[in-house]
Structures are given as C-alpha cells and as structure tokens.
Structure 1
C-alpha cells in the first residue's frame, strides 16, 4: 500500500516537473536537502499506515454497532447514535489534557499511545457488552485527539529542529503529499474494509485496523526520534520550587494566554474549528441528501451507489491536495491567500447544496447537488495541508498540541449539537449550519490576511 501511494505521488510530481520547463533554472539552483527527503519518508510511511487504520473503521461503523443485541433486541438507531456521540464527547473532554501530555512527554510517545489506545477501541467492537463498547468509544475519542495532533507536531518539531527549511516551503510540500496520499489510502482502505467484512463480518475491518496500527507504531518506534515541545517562557518568572519544577512545561492555562495574546492564532484556530465542524456535519448528511436526490431522479426503488460516491469524493480530495502542492511550489501565491480562496469556494459549494436540497422537487436537483459536493470535497483536500502549514507558521511549538486540541472543543460541541437536533433541523437545516460555519471560517481567514497586511505596513522588513 505504501509503495503504491509513493509511486502515484511520484508520478504526479514528475508530471508537474515536466510542465514547468520555464522554471528549470530556478529549480536547479535550489535542490531539496537530503535531510528533508529523509524526514518526508519517515513521516509519510508512518502517517499513511495510521490513517489507513482510521479509514478502515469508517465504512462499517454503523453496521458493527447495529449488529449488537441488547436485552434480546438489536441495537436501536438511538443507541448507535449515543455510541457515536460518545466518541465526539470524549475528544472534546479529554483533548486539551491529551495535547498537554503530548507536548510534555513527547510527540513520538503520543503517536505510539495512539496506536495502542485506538487498537483498544477497535478490539472493543468484538464485545457484546454495552459498557465495553462505551469504553471503546471513549478510547477512540482520545485516540482521535492523538492522531490529529501528535504526528503533525512531531513533523513540525523535527522540521524546525533541522534548520534546513527556514521558510517552511518543504513543510507545506510535505503536508500536500501527506493528504494527497491520504486520499489514495482511503480508497484502498475502503476496498480492504469490504474484503475484511466479507470474511469476518462487521468487526473484520476493525480487526484489520489493529494490524495497521501495530505496523505504524512499530515503524514510528524505529524510525522516529523523540520530539518534545520547546520550553515555554511564560513561567520564567516563577519564584517557588514547585513553579520552577513546572516551568517550561506546557499547560492549558498558558496555552489559553498564548491564544489571547496573538489574534493570528485565534483566527487560525477559528478556521480549524469551523471548517472541520462543517466537514463532519457534511459527513453525516451527504448519504441521505444524495439518496433522496437519486430517488427523485430514478424512482423510490433506485439504489444509491455509496461506495462509488465515496471513492469519487476521495478522488476529489486527491485533486485538492495535489492542487495545494502545486500552489506551494509557486513563488506568488501565499498559503494564507490560497486558503482564503478555498474557503470562499467551499462556502459557495455548500450553500449551493443547501439550496438544492431545500428546493429540489424534480430530478434536476441531482446534478447540481453532486457537483457542489464534489467541489466541497476538493476543498477538503486543500484544507488539510493548508491548515497544517498555517499552524506550523503561527502556533508556537511550546503549546502546539494543547492549542490544536483546545480548538477541537468548539468543533465537537457544534457537531454534537447539530447531531442531537438533526430531527428538527433535517438534512437541509444541517447543511445550512455547515454553510454558515464555512462562511465564518472564510471571515476568519480574511481577518488573518488583514492582520498580516497591517504588520507588513508597520514593519516593511516583513513585506
């Protein structure tokens, strides 16, 4: 799987190079350092294995819990919903503490902890006991906090430590490769999940997931060096022994002070919370939206090809990530400007989908709905390398994981709130909330660009 992903990305990269003949002289003058290539290999090989483990569990989440028997009856939709929400609540509740632990004890340890904790969550699906299943969802929620903070923090820390990428150019390229490859991994994982479910039932994909978690953890343990957060200066004025002992260790209180002191961090965090909340709401609502449109187009008995739609979504994500990688190699566009444009497109796409769902009473609604969803997925593909690059520029290393998880709290609150009231909101209302969140994310990005422009006016050296 890793070799396939690397080969596809190398093919894409070679085509890019051949299309940029006019800039060959500039490219020759600046070759990628060997240390950067080595770092990319170490990070991507582990990252894709861990992401594959995560993707494997998605397609059969509902089925694995719906197959359980409680009190002599199959699990109800409300019970499956409670299990689903337990994972989100766990992420919101434990995320900041998890982030602090990652920054304090090491990003490599955090990645290894993810492998173990997420494997416990996956294996819990074998149990028929509700308490064990709930415990597994709590573990999965904690694992999610680790997955979306520890590996990225390790990469950024190692990149800054080497000093071979002072402008962050190669870091942006690495994020682009990571999430372009992630789209390919997702497609492969979907096929593997189907095979595992055929052989082992709905728990099969979860069992296979533990194998990838083991492989990723072992690879990280051998390839990665430990990487701690930079010491914080916020506690440098400590006077007593206890405070001195804690000096330099990241704390949630200090992380909040850091966020309040720099509005740029607040804007980046706002983009993270709002966009990802919109994305998770979309994940929950696209199946019923497309199913309804398909039924209107082809009749009530028509089946919806969810697997094909999902694979196409991933192809759109691959296009978006590849497009970001192309922008990252250009001298003109900035990550901030590209992200603002992407968020504007995402807002228009989701608003179009919302309008289509609310007004479509004929078969004509299927095409604009699918087109708007495809456009949004391309924006998702651009978003992850964009936000990774932005966080590497504006979020201090001393509190990186804590801050990332703090902004996960409003994200999860919004998603859980929409999910709890979805019976009143309906698909149209939920997508409307997603559209509003994307609009606010766009405003946050515009504000960030304004702050940067003002700093350049005050200090011409930054221009």
Structure 2
C-alpha cells in the first residue's frame, strides 16, 4: 500500500493539472499534522494496542485511496494528510507489533535480529513490486481511467488487510495512562542512551526524507534526460543488499559491535551526501553514490531496531520511535516552506543538512558506545 500510493508522486498531481505552488501547499498540509498528531500516534499505540494502530494505518490508506478516486482539491488535501499519518504509523507500528508478538511467543533474541533485516529486505522488495503493479495498472491507452487504478488497488489491499488483522490476532489489555507516563519518564527521558538513540533515528528519518524528495531533481538537473523508473528499483535493490549484509556484522565472520557498525555506516552515508551536495557529478556517478547511500541505510535500519530491542522496553517502543521522529518532521516541514514558498535555500543546501544529520548520528553512536562501556545496557528481552 505504501509503495502503490507513492510511485507516481508529483507526476500524478501534475497530470490532474496542479501547479508547482499547489503541489507544495498539499505537501505542507500533509506534513504539518505529523509533527503533533504523528508524534502522539506511537504513544497511542502503546496505550490502546499495536493492533488497533495498525488497523488505523489500513483505514488511512483506504481513505486516501478513496479521496484520490474523486480527484478534487479538498480530497487531495485529505489524501495528503491521511498518507502522511499512515507513513508515520508505518515507521513504528508494524515493527513494534512484531517485537511484542515475538516475545509473547517466547522466541529467542537472535531470531528477532533475523526478523529485523528480513523486514527491511522484504519492505524494499515489496516497494519494487508496487512499482511494477502500479505501472502495469496504468499501462493501457486510457490513461485518465487507469490513473485511478492504483488507488482502486490500494483500497482493495487496505480492505483485505483490515479483515485479516481484525480476525486473526488478539492483544493483551493495554497499560493505564498513569503507568505509561511514569514508565516513559523513567526509561525514556531519564536515560541518556535512549536519547542518543532517538536523535540518531531522527537524523536518519530526515536524511532519507530529504533524499526521496530531491533525488529526482538532482539527477535531471541541467536538463538531463533519464529514465527514473529504471533507477528507482536500483536504489531499493541497494537497500536490500545493505540489509542482507547485517547478519555478517552481527553474527557472521565479521563480528562488530552494533554501535561500531552504525558509526561506519553513518559516516559513509554522510560523505556520500556531502559529495552530492557540493560537487557536480555525471549520472553514472550520481546513481552509484545514491546506491551506496541506500546500502548504508539498509544496514542502518535493522541495526537501530536491534539497539532499540536492547535499550527500550516493549511497552514504550512505539512512543520512543514516534517521539524521535518529531524533530525530523519539523525539519522537513521547514525545508518545504523555505524551499517551496520562499526559495531561500537551494536543493544542495538541504542535501548538505542531510549529510550533517548523518555525521551527527555517527557521533551519537560513538557516544552510545562510550556510555555502554561504563553502564552496560539492561536487556528487556529473552536471550
């Protein structure tokens, strides 16, 4: 659902006659609620249950798909808000639910590590499949009719997911708000290591969002003609490769502390974005750099999930992730406003900020490693 809804992006809006200013307006309308509402959704999932929030994810996608079928200006605004909130849930909801179910079934921690890289790997594979499906749905001659087809497919998928989730799983009773507030204060806001981990997560989210917004304009700069649809699966394939490398560094022939692995990955990603920001490159070199960046992200995502497993209790995991996304969402909104309306910053400046975010995340991982030497983490999960 995430992939089908996001394949066409700007092209879909342009096809239905929206100007650049209107596109920016709708992006800002969609991004703004994620700062407050999106930040609270993770805590809401911890309080009312992960299953209910994952159902909310499906309902939001269904609502967005229905709005796109009636492509009018009010419905575009509503669809943009629904998709932004659904994307916020996607970043924490299913991971948190999977970890809780994993512990409930009594599986060991090493099998959970396998699940993290498989989730990243399969997510990238499903996004490639979504591109294939969306292109197939609009491949006939009646383009106006078939531009609605991806939304129809998304609505059907959302309904199937709602039925499947509602019928197949049950949850234990949620905690009370008072208990949750005390746990949040004790384990999250009073623990320097979790704050470092949260800032690193926020930096990753900002850098990835900035990349997906600017990668196409960067490649087609100076009027270069490129088949972006051929490059998109290459980027996701690189992320799949990066996630597949994760077991080699954790349990394989190249054992490293997770923090060390992340320091190297963040540093390489920061260098790549710095080169893109400050030096003109040919298309081949740009694509290679973009693939290297995504390979690093593919390694980073399961590594951060593993650290969350070591440091964050299950009952606070969703809240911790969503709180860490608030700074990145605010930064993305600010970039939209400054670039889209005021034109006061260039694309290269935003990419440079993303590079700084990567270096900042590397520094957080170094500090996390140093703090771990003096105060070993408390593992909240089965060994």
Query: Once the two structures are superposed, what CA deviation does each residue of 1:57-88 show, in whole Å capped at 9, x if it has no partner?
Result: 112222333344xxxxx321111111112222
Structure 1 match to 2:348: 428
Structure 2 match to 1:193: 134
8 Å CA contact 2:197, 2:364 repeated in 1? yes
**Alignment equivalent of 2:153, drawn from 202, 208, 217:** 208
Query: Once the two structures are superposed, what CA deviation does each residue of 1:238-268 show, in whole Å capped at 9, x if it has no partner?
Result: xxxxxxx7432x34x8635642210111011
Determine the C-alpha separation between the residues in 2 that align with 1:426 and 1:395. Answer: 38
Determine the C-alpha separation between the residues in 2 that align with 1:85 and 1:258. Answer: 33
**Alignment equivalent of 1:313, drawn from 217, 225, 235:** 235
Structure 2 match to 1:343: 266
8 Å CA contact 1:99, 1:401 repeated in 2? yes
With CA pairs under 8 Å and 6+ residues apart, which has the higher RCO, 1 or 2? Answer: 2
Determine the C-alpha separation between the residues in 2 that align with 1:425 and 1:433. Answer: 11
Number of aligned residue pairs: give it. Answer: 369
After superposition, the Cα gap between the structure-2 partners of 1:456 and 1:152, relative to the gap in structure 1 and judged at 3 Å, is closer
What is the deviation of 1:149? 1.9
After superposition, the Cα gap between the structure-2 partners of 1:418 and 1:246, relative to the gap in structure 1 and judged at 3 Å, is closer
What is the deviation of 1:159? 2.0
Structure 2 match to 1:17: none
Alignment of 1:363-378 (within 5 A): 365-378=282-295
Query: Once the two structures are superposed, what CA deviation does each residue of 1:410-460 show, in whole Å capped at 9, x if it has no partner?
Result: 011111112222333222111111111111111111111111112259xxx
Gaps of 5+ in 2: 378-383
Higher CA-based Rg: 1
Give the superposed CA RMSD: 2.2
After superposition, the Cα gap between the structure-2 partners of 1:227 and 1:352, relative to the gap in structure 1 and judged at 3 Å, is farther
After superposition, the Cα gap between the structure-2 partners of 1:257 and 1:66, relative to the gap in structure 1 and judged at 3 Å, is farther
Moved more, 144-153 or 267-276: 144-153
Alignment of 1:56-95 (within 5 A): 56-68=4-16, 74-95=17-38
The answer to whether structure 1 residue 401 and structure 2 residue 318 are counterparts is yes
8 Å CA contact 1:183, 1:318 repeated in 2? yes
Determine the C-alpha separation between the residues in 2 that align with 1:416 and 1:348. Answer: 24
Alignment of 1:10-409 (within 5 A): 53-68=1-16, 74-165=17-108, 168-199=109-140, 200-227=145-172, 231=175, 246-248=177-179, 250-251=180-181, 255=184, 258-292=187-221, 300=223, 302-330=224-252, 332-357=255-280, 365-409=282-326
8 Å CA contact 2:231, 2:287 repeated in 1? no
After superposition, the Cα gap between the structure-2 partners of 1:64 and 1:203, relative to the gap in structure 1 and judged at 3 Å, is farther
Moved more, 408-417 or 253-262: 253-262
Task: Give me the TM-score of the superposition, normalised by structure 2.
Answer: 0.89
Task: Give me the TM-score of the superposition, normalised by structure 1.
Answer: 0.75
Gaps of 5+ in 1: 1-52, 69-73, 232-244, 458-463
What is the deviation of 1:343? 1.0
8 Å CA contact 2:64, 2:82 repeated in 1? yes
What is the deviation of 1:281? 0.5
8 Å CA contact 1:91, 1:144 repeated in 2? no
8 Å CA contact 1:356, 1:368 repeated in 2? no
Determine the C-alpha separation between the residues in 1 that align with 2:52 and 2:270. Answer: 38
After superposition, the Cα gap between the structure-2 partners of 1:337 and 1:216, relative to the gap in structure 1 and judged at 3 Å, is farther
- Runs of at least 4 residues off by over 6 Å: none
What is the deviation of 1:316? 0.4
Determine the C-alpha separation between the residues in 1 that align with 2:114 and 2:151. Answer: 32
Determine the C-alpha separation between the residues in 1 that align with 2:186 and 2:33. Answer: 24
Determine the C-alpha separation between the residues in 2 that align with 1:147 and 1:446. Answer: 28
What is the deviation of 1:55? 0.7
**Alignment equivalent of 1:443, drawn from 363, 371, 374:** 363
